[in-house]
Structure 1
Amino acid sequence: MPAESPVLLHVDRLTVEFPGVRALDGVHFDVRAGEVHALVGENGAGKSTLLKVLGGLHRPAAGEIRLGERRYRPRRPADALHAGIAVIYQEFNLYPDLTVAENVFSGREPYHRLTRGIDYAELNRRTAQLFGTLGVHLDPARTVGSLTVSEQQLVEIAKALSVDGRIIVMDEPTAALSADEVTRLLDVVRRLRAEGRGVVYVSHRLDEVFAVADRVTVLRDGRHVHTGDLAETSQEDLVRLMVGRDVSAATRRTGAVRDDVVLDLDQVSAGRQLREVSLRVRAGEIVGIGGVAGAGQPELSQVVFGALGVDTGAMTLDGRTYRPSTPADAMAAGVGFLHEDRKSSGILPDLSVRDNLTVSVLHRVRAALTRLLSPAAQTAVFAEHRQRLAIRATGPGQLIGQLSGGNQQKVLFGRALAPGGRLLVLNEPTRGVDIGAKMEIHQLIDEVTAAGTAVLMISSDLPELLGVSDRVYVLAAGRIVGHLTGDDRTEENVIACATTGRRVFSEVAA
């Protein structure tokens, strides 16, 4: 990035206030032409608030924003698009019943010159061209509701790129992407930089930040802490600036795996994807499940949680036949579950933190006589898990939608823990959370396994998968093609199994 690159965006003394909280406090920030400027900080640091101001969703109480020499005061998202600012938000904003192409060019559809109707051939052509720049083959005519989470993320990215803005803002754009998709996206970011655009890149994945960004700004508790060249900053220094303390990135397992088998799958097939899967999870053990997107990981977790029926094969839980017909059956048996998609299938956004936390233990929080929910019992459960998980909330009645992504994830983790059973099924337990919250969640997983809980963990984050798990099974096309322990637990082996189907099995019994 040339030192004389013009400043495209300048934020000065920006302050944003909500009832009872100051989300941004005198923040300054700028973006130059032809640079990738990373914006980092813990959940609740103010990153998303700043992006929503730039995107026209929030209005500041004080401060000034300039685009070049012009003052910028957006009042709605259309103002941002008109000014050349395209924002890719962490939470999807898609229409599930419309096609991919209709979502990408919503409100900007090409019209046929003669019929004056939408020119769908041109619409699909432009959409296919956009996905071509991403190195992705996705049918423009498919409905968005039929796509996987990672495919929906790619639609959001294509939608932002279709605006052709001077400033592209990306809020956790790789949170739901596979390793190959992440590589392609970072290549697109570099292309945008080479074209002279300014890119604001928000990510908790620091390896991506160091791979693609030129400068970095750190926010903490709504305040500006640091701006500097990444080349002059170490990862350890950046983490210290983000959290205000030293955080060890290493995961240290303190519990011991026991002999008793908690979960046993024997040649289980289910749905269209899962085929003849056999695995075991012992008490006090964390068993990881790896593989590329679409390999059958969600189906495996759904079978264990009773959301997908078993076609053939058998399951046991604590040595007894286990065949849950519904998730309620699984929870009654002591199985906790964390969904991979926090927004669409995790939180209940219009309910309080207390209600979200206790929905998995309604039988425990009902009054004995009336069978109505007891607010006092719910609050007691909230208080227990608030302290244990360090949930930052104003109180039990606060709407969960008002919490940061990391605190929402902690609430959902608490919901999975609330049944207090023998088995936790965790899908992407640290997706979209900051490094401090990530370490806290890893510590919580370690604590519950030390007490004898068995954990089945699905993660697309390879360092997490290998660092946290005692053993790793790798899925490909719905079948287990790898069982990795000890020195076999390497990223190279996981990727080789997942992409080539080359089978790698440890001599340790499954």
Structure 2
Amino acid sequence: MALLEVDGLTVEFPGIRALDAVCFDIRPGEVHALVGENGAGKSTLLKVLGGVHRPSSGEVRLAGAAYRPRRPADALAAGIAVIYQEFNLYPDLTVAENVFSGREPCSPVSRGIRYAEINRRTSELFAVLGVGIDPAATVGELTVSEQQLVEICKALSVDGRIIVMDEPTAALSADEVGQLLDVVRRLREEGRSVVYVSHRLDEVFALADRVTVLRDGRHVRTCDIAETDPDRLVRDMVGRDVESVFHRDEVRGGDVVLELTGVSAGRRLRDLSLVVRAGEVVGVGGIAGAGQPELSQLIFGALAADAGTMTLNGAPFSPRNPGDAMARGIGFLHEDRKAAGNLPDLSIRHNLTISVLHRVRGAITRLLAPARETEVFDDYRRRLDVKATGPDQLIGQLSGGNQQKVLLGRALAPGGRLLLLNEPTRGVDIGAKAEIHRLINQLTADGAAVLMVSSDLPELLGVSDRVYVMAGGEIVAHLTGDDRTEENVVACATTGRRVFSEELSTR
């Protein structure tokens, strides 16, 4: 018998039907994967379950009774806890204060919070998960994976019967992913039901008992995980075969576009030397914290160099700020779209054109010209297949993957010869990932140079022509040809020893 049943669920917004007569059910004590492309309706379904959205029609039943939450508090009271991709934590409060926020036990005399009790109860909840996090630690000082565990602990604190996780591993390292998957297995052993939303099919097959596929707001199929395979799921999600997600056309490198020689930036980056040529995709890999994002920030003028030299298209290059870099035609995609990427309270067209304001101003008034902004929006909406109601929709209303596409369009808009792409497909579904890689192939075929930072090893090796590996703020390896393997990247990143392709090939 199903614990939760969704029957004919339809959700409509102005100009769009996000869910169309969807049917879905969750059994007690199972991990149920929910997959589909960005814009397939996954987030909308989760928000209905979490009491954020109310359906236009259809019915949801919980343990056989009608379930009609009017706000998130109703969902929590019913034992349904949704952990969204963007955390809902207070960074300046302790772990225990976050876990029991709004439900703090207070002294009947002083009315003060009983901190000893919430710390003890939080420790007991973490013991269920098999992890050790200090309940008195400040949340803002925790790693992303630890914050994810705090969110799960919050779900347990309300005795969640159904725990919904939206892309829980999107920003985690390989080791952190393994720890989180173990936690999900523990939740299943506790008898709780888990709805697991992920674009990473390896996790789906490692965890799920059943899987449901959505496409364009409609239910495609639900089946036991043993009855399907990755290729079949991909066909179900995108409605076609995706021949190769990590596909790289063979392109010959041309003239040197970017060159760094002995560049350092305080303690963050030391003695960096690299070359990026026209027509190349040069990858940058390494474990988290090795300095990969700082490298692209340095080139983009967001981090000042204090030693060494840079050249761009053969001329000395020393940007004082990102404006200098954009003026020289450099496009930049930040790895964290929430913290430093999108402007959630502005429209898609404003988010997209902020890197090319000189192109969308009126010639005389110098004011923004909506018609020119819309032209830019229409161009990149078509090229990147952005699913949106129109240019004036707020970017914060888009799915995570469609937000990523808009920010990629912002990076491409300056039209320069050098693109700095940090985690270009993070939070993007498998079909959109293939589209972004095809776009990268097209750009390099037209002569652009791409420096790509990626923590996804299959992407890093499948899309890049050469790979630099970083450790401790230094470049410790340069891998080319057959030396570009996952084993070599991991070995170089973890040992921190300087290795170059010639050395590897002689082993």
TM-score relative to the length of structure 1: 0.93
Deviation at 1:501, TM superposition (A): 2.4
1:36 corresponds to: 31
Aligned to 2:435: 440
Contact kept? 2:129, 2:187, Cα under 8 Å: no
Out of 164, 182, 188, the residue aligned to residue 183 of structure 2 is 188
Which of 154, 159, 175 is the aligned partner of 2:154? 159
Structure 2 residue identity aligned to 1:385: Y
- Are 1:468 and 2:431 an aligned pair? no
Structural mapping, 1:66-77, within 5 Å: 66-77=61-72
Change (3 A) 1:348 1:209: same
| 1:350 aligned residue (322, 340, 345) | 345
Q: Does 1:330 align with 2:325?
A: yes
Letter in 1 for 2:91: P
Comparing 313-322 and 265-274, the one that deviates more: 265-274
- Cα gap change, 1:361 to 1:100, in 2 (>3 Å): farther
Does structure 1 conserve the Cα–Cα contact (< 8 Å) formed by 2:353 and 2:413? Answer: yes
- Spell out, residue by residue over 1:319-352, the C-alpha distance to the aligned partner (whole angstroms, 9 max, x if none): 2222212111111111111111122321212221
Residue type of the alignment partner of 1:51 = L
| Counterpart contact for 1:262–1:422, Cα < 8 Å | yes
Deviation at 1:138, TM superposition (A): 5.2
Kept in 1: contact 2:38–2:402 (CA 8 A): yes
Q: In the superposition, relative to structure 1, how do residues 40 and 19 fare at CA in structure 2: closer, same or farther (>3 Å)?
A: same
Q: 1:26-72: per-residue Cα shift (whole Å, max 9, x none)? A: 11111112211101111111111111011110111222212212221
Contact 2:254–2:279 (Cα < 8 Å) also in 1:
no
Task: Verify the 8 A CA contact 1:134 1:184 in the aligned structure 2.
Answer: no
1:98 to 93, 98, 122: 93
Q: d(CA) in 2 for partners of 1:424 and 1:433?
A: 19
Specify the alignment match of 1:3 in structure 2: none
Cα distance in 2 for residues equivalent to 1:456 and 1:128: 44
Q: CA shift at 1:135, angstroms?
A: 6.3
Give the C-alpha shift of residue 428 in structure 1: 0.9
Q: Cα–Cα, structure 1 residues 57 and 256, in superposed 2: closer, same or farther, change >3 Å? A: same
**Number of residues paired by the alignment?**
504
Query: Given the alignment of the two structures, is residue 267 of structure 1 paired with residue 281 of structure 2, yes or no?
Result: no
How far 1:112 moved relative to its partner? 5.4
CA distance in 2, matches of 1:118, 1:288: 50
Is residue 40–residue 219 contact of structure 1 (8 Å, CA) maintained in 2? yes
Candidates 69, 75, 88, aligned match of 1:80: 75
**Partner residue, 2:394:** 399
CA–CA distance in structure 2, aligned partners of residues 296 and 502 of structure 1: 15
Distance 1:131 1:44, change over 3 A: same
Q: CA deviation at 1:267?
A: 2.3
Is residue 255–residue 447 contact of structure 1 (8 Å, CA) maintained in 2? no
Shift of 1:316: 1.8
Contact residue 483 and residue 506 of structure 1 kept, 8 A? yes
Alpha-carbon distance in 2 for matches of 1:442, 1:164 = 43
Verify: 1:282 aligned to 2:277, yes or no.
yes
8 Å contact from structure 2 (residues 347, 395) kept in 1: yes
Alpha-carbon contact 2:251-2:279 (below 8 Å) kept: yes
1:237-272 CA-partner distances (Å, limit 9, x unpaired): 111011111111343323523242212222222244
What is the rounded CA distance, in whole Å, between the counterparts of 1:303 and 1:126 in structure 2? 45
Distance 1:49 1:275, change over 3 A: same
Q: Residue type of the partner of 1:454?
A: A
1:208-234 deviation per Cα after TM superposition (whole angstroms, max 9, x unaligned)? 101110111111111111000111101
CA distance in 2 between partners of 1:47 and 1:106 (Å): 27
Contact 2:269 2:291 in 1 (8 A): yes
Q: Retained in 2: the 8 A contact 1:286–1:468?
A: yes
Q: Which letter maps to 1:414?
A: G
- CA RMSD in angstroms, aligned pairs only: 2.2
Tell me the CA shift for residue 179 of structure 1: 0.4
Distance in 1 between residues matched to 2:156 and 2:310, nearest whole Å: 46
In the alignment, the residues of structure 2 paired with residue 194 and residue 322 of structure 1 have an alpha-carbon distance, to the nearest angstrom, of: 57
Structure 2 Cα separation of the partners of residues 77 and 185 of structure 1: 24
**Partner residue of 1:291 out of 269, 273, 286:** 286
Q: Distance in 1 between matches of 2:422 and 2:139?
A: 22
Change in CA separation of 1:313 and 1:144 when aligned onto 2, cut-off 3 Å: farther
Unaligned 5+ residue runs, structure 1?
Answer: 1-5
Residues 483 and 178 of structure 1: CA distance in aligned 2, closer, same or farther (over 3 Å): same
1:508 deviation in Å?
9.5
Residue 228 of structure 2 is aligned to residue 233 of structure 1:
yes
CA distance in 2, matches of 1:137, 1:322: 47
Q: Relative to structure 1, is the Cα distance of residues 125 and 268 closer, same or farther in structure 2, using a 3 angstrom cutoff?
A: farther
Amino acid aligned to 2:29: G
**1:12 positional shift:** 1.1
Residue in 2 that maps onto 1:477: 472
What is the CA–CA distance in structure 2 between the aligned matches of 1:20 and 1:98, rounded to whole Å?
40
Judge which range, 291-300 or 112-121, deviates more. Answer: 112-121
The verdict on how the C-alpha distance between 1:113 and 1:281 changes in structure 2, with shifts beyond 3 A counting, is farther
Is residue 159 of structure 2 the alignment partner of residue 170 of structure 1?
no
Distance 1:250 1:243, change over 3 A: closer
Which AA in structure 2 matches 1:197?
A: R
**How far apart, CA to CA, are the structure 1 residues paired with 2:147 and 2:255?**
41
What's 2:446 paired with?
451
Aligned to 1:251: 246
Give me the whole-angstrom Cα distance separating, in 1, the residues matched to 2:116 and 2:343.
Answer: 39
Contact residue 8 and residue 21 of structure 2 kept, 8 A: yes
Work out whether residues 8 and 31 of structure 1, in 8 Å CA contact, stay in contact via their aligned partners in 2.
yes
Three-state SS of the structure 2 residue aligned to 1:108 is coil
Secondary structure of the 2:3 match is: strand
The structure-2 alpha-carbon separation of the partners of 1:337 and 1:65, relative to structure 1 and needing over 3 Å to count, comes to same
Distance 1:157 1:281, change over 3 A: farther
Preserved contact between residue 274 and residue 478 of structure 1 (Cα < 8 Å):
yes
Amino acid at match of 1:390: D
Aligned partners of 2:122 and 2:264: how far apart in 1?
37
Aligned residues of 1:134 and 1:185 also touching (Cα < 8 A): no
Name the amino acid aligned to 2:44.
T
Q: What secondary structure sits across from 1:22 in the alignment? A: strand
| Change in CA separation of 1:407 and 1:69 when aligned onto 2, cut-off 3 Å | same
Query: Matched residue of 2:237: which SS?
Result: helix
AA of the residue aligned to 2:414: P
In 2: Cα distance, 1:422 partner to 1:478 partner: 26
1:411-458 Cα distance to aligned partner (Å, 9 max, x none) = 111100011112111111111111111100111111111111111111
CA distance in 2, matches of 1:283, 1:471: 13
What is the letter of the counterpart of residue 390 of structure 2?
Answer: G
- Asked if 1:213 is matched to 2:246, the reply is no
Structure-2 change in CA distance of 1:377 and 1:32 (3 Å): same
Structure 2: gaps (5+ residues): none
